[in-house]
Amino acid sequence: RSSSSAGTSSGHPWTRSCPSPPASSRPSRRRPASRAPPPPRYSSCRSRSPRRARCPCSAGWRCSPRRPSSPSSSRSSPRSPLRGDRAGAGATAAVASTCVERALGHVLWVASRLPVASRKHELVRGLAERLLDENNVGARVAAVTRAALAGAFERTLRQLEASAGGEWGPPGMELAVRAVRSGVRWWRPTVAALEGNDAFGGPAAEKLAAELLWLGQKMAECGAAREAAVQFGAASRLGSRALVAEPTLQVALLRLAVFLFRHANSAEFEQEEGKAAVAEQRMEMLRSWLPLLCRGSNGTDAPVLSGRERAEMVTVLEELIEKLRWEQQEEALALWLHHFAACPDTDWPNLERCYTRWYAESRKLLA
């Protein structure tokens, strides 16, 4: 018994054993101790069972031995979103849409920055045209295209506003708006009101205005003309500064305003917002750009619009005003009257018929 107990006591240090007998009862002859088995490989403490012996890890309890891993199982195979779960596919699609939008935004930004005289301008513009034409492959790609175009339009519009400078247009413009909103009965614009205001323009500003027209046309092709009209209508400071711009810049802004006024009068403009919000957005468009139609340059060498286009634009303005609330109609018509009377060089747009119709309806309500 003593020899067996001695062999057991010299075994594995982390296994349970009975206490050794006293040293006096041990025989003098000692048998060689049995060779202890190699300690198992430990990975982590998975159980805290008190029946298991101590292990050298920090938790103090015996860990489960680590199973040898095969080379095939240790090699992690990539999960493809096309064959994997839906979460991976959605995350990959979101990353791809962001990359496509950024890449398209880079091309549009470079195209707006390059001057027309640069030999790389046509190359970058052609690249942008090709990318936009190839994006008509699905609803998700079309949404990315609309977002990229809307961002480019807003960025270009802010650049043109920054180049315009100033806080307001001519003093006569401010007096006219105050007269319309306060309801005063007398206001006389003078030529001196336009003096002392530095005109802005130049090739860079004309390039930005032409870029805005091109972006607006591309947004109309993909069904995002409403966003362009809303942003253009909110640029009231640019609209006031456009009255003192150079004639060539006024021509470019006049073309853009006519183009977006037509889309503001369309049924597509009424789809995404409520009736009150749509009326306010149309009113902002009239506040900002109706004065330019009345007092802006119609072309240096040749008229910007033909006779037919002018007649169509008058019809568009009349329909647009009739879709407003009654008080908004009064404000728009009073704004037109002040600026139309202040410019003796042109008789367009003539909204006299719309003014008399609104006055007759108001008189009926009074009676």
Task: Tokens for 204, please give them.
Answer: 């860079």
In a domain, 85, yes or no: no
The single residue listed with the structure tokens 């079309």 is 142
- Compute the average pLDDT of residues 315-341: 95
Residue type present at position 237: R
In a domain, 233, yes or no: yes
Cα angle 116, 163, 302 (rounded to 5 degrees) comes to 55
pLDDT confidence band for 154 (50 / 70 / 90): very high
pLDDT digits (tens, 9 = 90+) for 35-59: 666 655 554 444 444 455 455 554 4
In a domain, 149, yes or no: no
pLDDT digits (tens, 9 = 90+) for 250-282: 999 999 999 999 999 998 898 877 889 999 999
Distance between CA atoms of 215 and 151, rounded to whole angstroms?
10
Distance between CA atoms of 218 and 7, rounded to whole angstroms?
91
Contact (Cβ atoms closer than 8 angstroms) between residue 237 and residue 164? yes
Q: What is the pLDDT at residue 135?
A: 80
pLDDT digits (tens, 9 = 90+) for 182-198: 444 333 333 333 444 56
In a domain, 105, yes or no: no
pLDDT digits (tens, 9 = 90+) for 72-91: 444 444 444 434 444 444 44
- Check whether 33 has a pLDDT greater than 70: no
- When the pLDDT of each residue in the chain is averaged and rounded to a whole number, the result is 76
Q: How many domains is the chain partitioned into structurally? A: 1
Contacts of 265 (CB under 8 A, 6+ apart): 282, 316, 319, 320, 323
pLDDT confidence band for 112 (50 / 70 / 90): confident
Containing structural domain, residue 272: 169-366
Residue type present at position 42: Y
Q: What is the pLDDT at residue 134?
A: 85
In a domain, 267, yes or no: yes
Cα angle 17, 19, 25 (rounded to 5 degrees) comes to 130
Q: What is the pLDDT at residue 252?
A: 93
Q: Which of 141, 338, 311, 276 is nearest to 222 (CA)?
A: 141
Q: Which of 264, 282, 144, 248 is nearest to 216 (CA)?
A: 264
Q: What is the pLDDT at residue 251?
A: 92
pLDDT confidence band for 113 (50 / 70 / 90): confident
Contacts of 229 (CB under 8 A, 6+ apart): 260, 261, 263, 264, 269, 281, 285
User: What is the Cα 2 distance to its own chain's centre?
Assistant: 87
In a domain, 196, yes or no: yes
User: What is the Cα 164 distance to its own chain's centre?
Assistant: 24
In a domain, 212, yes or no: yes
Task: Tokens for 284, please give them.
Answer: 């902002």
Contact (Cβ atoms closer than 8 angstroms) between residue 229 and residue 269? yes
- Dihedral (CA of 82, 84, 89, 92) sign: negative
Distance between CA atoms of 9 and 18, rounded to whole angstroms?
8
- Check whether 365 has a pLDDT greater than 70: yes
Contact (Cβ atoms closer than 8 angstroms) between residue 98 and residue 90? no
Q: What is the pLDDT at residue 326?
A: 93
Task: Tokens for 249, please give them.
Answer: 């810049």
In a domain, 270, yes or no: yes
Task: Tokens for 174, please give them.
Answer: 């401010």
Q: What is the pLDDT at residue 148?
A: 92
Contact (Cβ atoms closer than 8 angstroms) between residue 219 and residue 228? yes
- Dihedral (CA of 97, 100, 104, 105) sign: positive
- Dihedral (CA of 346, 191, 302, 218) sign: negative
Q: Which of 134, 88, 85, 82 is nearest to 107 (CA)?
A: 134
- Check whether 125 has a pLDDT greater than 70: yes
Contact (Cβ atoms closer than 8 angstroms) between residue 37 and residue 12? yes
- Check whether 174 has a pLDDT greater than 60: no
Model confidence, pTM: 0.67
Of residues 347 and 353, which shows the higher confidence score?
A: 353
